[in-house]
Amino acid sequence: MSISKSLAQLMGGDLWVESAYGKGSQFYFTLRFKHYPLEQGDTFEKMKRFEGRNILFLDSLGDCLNITSRIQQLGLVPHRITDISETAHKTLLFDTVIVDNMAHAEKIREAVHLRYTPILLIAPEVLRLDMRLCIDLGITGYIDSSVSLTGLAYTLLPALESHAALPNVSALHVPLKILLAEDNIVNQKLAVRILEKFGHKVEIVSNGKLAVEAFEKKAYDLILMDVQMPIMGGFEATQRIRGLEHSAGNDSHVPIIALTAHAMIGDREKCLQSGMDEYVKKRRP
């Protein structure tokens, strides 16, 4: 409590405590930050490499926030729907989903083909959010509707950058040869179902040692690597694969995407340091 109170006081904020005997206490605090204008040129320059990416907008307010137009202004392609069932027969691969209601984020995660897609929450008013729920649902950002176009771009960037799947793969209808290293049978079936829906061919191994052996025998376009597996984990397996590539001396580099069960601060950096290219958080089916 003393740390939270000191932080709130230092930032010129306030601290509230709600306590119930036998149940515990909850702490809330507000912080007041100085406002610094975002550099519009730099932000838009970063957005250029995502030009033409598909953004799914689940709208429940009749687009009163003018989200569709603002997405277009950023060079992205908006796909506005009013019900999650409208995506059932879509073959597009979306890079980000925008919702205007927290309850919609939970509906998005029930859709198998959107289970790993980053979510951005844009609300017409300031919300008090459950941060643990936001992490579990994969919500990468939250802004209120008064934010500027630059602010929207700045909030979208982490979602676009973290999304490992490239939309042009689906658009070009090029099937990939994918190696899935995953020891959980349920996760195996789920991943195969998603990938095969887009026409990809998937081979499964149950640990990192088998992944390295499979890589030695055959070329793959992509490897999905679970971080925690028996016999050999994902980090060690990735390091061995990178070692084999280096020994080959032909500048080969197969993309390796880490699959992590729990999103923690520093996970992405740890994955990159081991030789992985990106990571996505697994969700329980």
Domain residue spans in the chain? 1-34, 40-162, 175-281
pLDDT in tens, 105-128: 888 877 767 777 888 998 777 667
Backbone φ/ψ region at 75: left (φ over 0), alpha (ψ -120 to 50), beta: left
Q: Going by C-beta distance under 8 Å and a sequence separation of 6 or more, which residues neighbour residue 47?
A: 74, 75, 76, 153, 156, 157
pLDDT score recorded for residue 169: 41
Q: How far apart are alpha carbons 11 and 24 in whole angstroms?
A: 26
pLDDT score recorded for residue 198: 79
pLDDT score recorded for residue 262: 60
Parts of the chain with a pLDDT under 70: 1-16, 29, 31, 33, 35-41, 88-91, 112, 126-127, 163-173, 262-267, 282-285
Please determine whether the domains at 40-162 and 175-281 fall in the same fold group of CATH.
yes
pLDDT score recorded for residue 38: 56
Report the candidate in 6, 147, 162 with the shortest Cα–Cα distance to residue 66.
147
pLDDT score recorded for residue 282: 67
pLDDT score recorded for residue 186: 86
The CATH topology of domain 175-281 is: Rossmann fold (3.40.50)
Domain 40-162: top CATH class: alpha beta
Dihedral, CA of residue 102, residue 103, residue 104 and residue 105, to nearest 10: 60
Point out which residues pair with 202 in neighbouring strands. 178
pLDDT score recorded for residue 283: 56
Q: How many CA atoms lie within 13 A of 71 on its CB side?
A: 25
Q: How far apart are alpha carbons 76 and 78 in whole angstroms?
A: 6
Number of Cβ within 10 Å of residue 6's Cβ equals 11
Number of Cβ within 10 Å of residue 25's Cβ equals 9
